[in-house]
Amino acid sequence: MKSKLIDLIKTILKNVFGIQVLRIKNISENKSEPKTKMDYVHDPAFSYMKTPAYKELLIKELADYGNQFFSNDYFTSAESPDLPVLINDFFELYINRSLTDNTHGSGFHNAFWIYLFARILNPDLIVESGVWKAHTTWLLEQACPNSVIYGFDPKLHHVEYKNLNAKLIKMDWSTYQLPEFDPEKAFVFFDCHVNNAQRILEAKDKGFKHIIIDDNPPVHRLFSLMPGIPTAAMLHSGLGIENPEISWVWNGEEVTKPINIDEARRAKDLIKIHRVFPDVGGPTRYGGFAFLSYIQI
């Protein structure tokens, strides 16, 4: 009887006054089980193969990637590397590192290639522009204990590695006077999200030949991150450097960056070799691919 009366009132309100009455149910929240903390991540420090035969299989596959890259003889002073040995050394080092959280810094892919590159070149001098937590600085020290290493960053308060031999300097590298060095036995690593044309010109002025640049996507892949514009990939291809500005949407917000066309052209003319390091993050499932690239000027 009560429900019929309610339905009658609804009909009158709807037909006479044009008022639609909706029935709203009280929906109680479903009490779900609390989320359990993930007890693993896809990172060699936490998840890795122990059985020797299968570990060797992974190292062999990674050595194939290494041979694909280093067979180009980029370094006149480097000896032929024993890549399986170097890769095994890298795994032992990476698995046992004391500080494992390098969020927003270099992941497995970058660390793998930076370590191999440094071991094979065996430089006297390494310069790092963009230090963050100093994870890569630590990695370079382990790879090249006899190298002089400089790390430049206007902000050094994120550094977590405290017992480093590297010289960490709270400033941009551009105005710092480095000691004399052999260009064949030195390299600079840019992970500072600064205009790559500017950085390449600075490296040339300081006498460098070998450069590694992180976050170096081509122009049609700019939407995925915030690199230094123009990127070295843009300079090498010539795409995206002939307009005074470029725009894309990053993380839901529109970004517009100016292009210094003259500067970009001068930097482009300096690039002799441009190679993106092959993706080892995807095949290994450890991740971290970020267009890390080798540039020779």
Q: Does 63 reside within a domain?
A: yes
In a domain, residue 20? The reply is: no
Residue 11 domain-assigned?
no
Q: What is the mean pLDDT of residues 173-199?
A: 97
> What per-residue confidence (pLDDT) applies to 35?
40
As for how many domains the chain has, the answer is 1
pLDDT tens-digit series, residues 58-93 = 999 999 999 999 998 898 766 788 999 999 999 999
Strands 253-258 and 167-169: unpaired
pLDDT bin (cut points 50, 70, 90) of residue 99 is confident
100: pLDDT strictly greater than 70: no
Q: Is residue 246 part of a domain?
A: yes
In a domain, 185, yes or no: yes
The answer to whether position 14 is within a domain reads no
The answer, as to whether pTM is greater than 0.85, is no
pLDDT score of 252 more than 70: yes
Whether residue 152 is predicted with pLDDT greater than 50 in this model: the reply is yes
Q: 275: domain CATH number?
A: 3.40.50.150
2 part of a folded domain? no
Asked whether residue 35 is assigned to any structural domain, the reply reads no
Quote the pLDDT of residue 8: 61
Domain that holds residue 292: 40-296
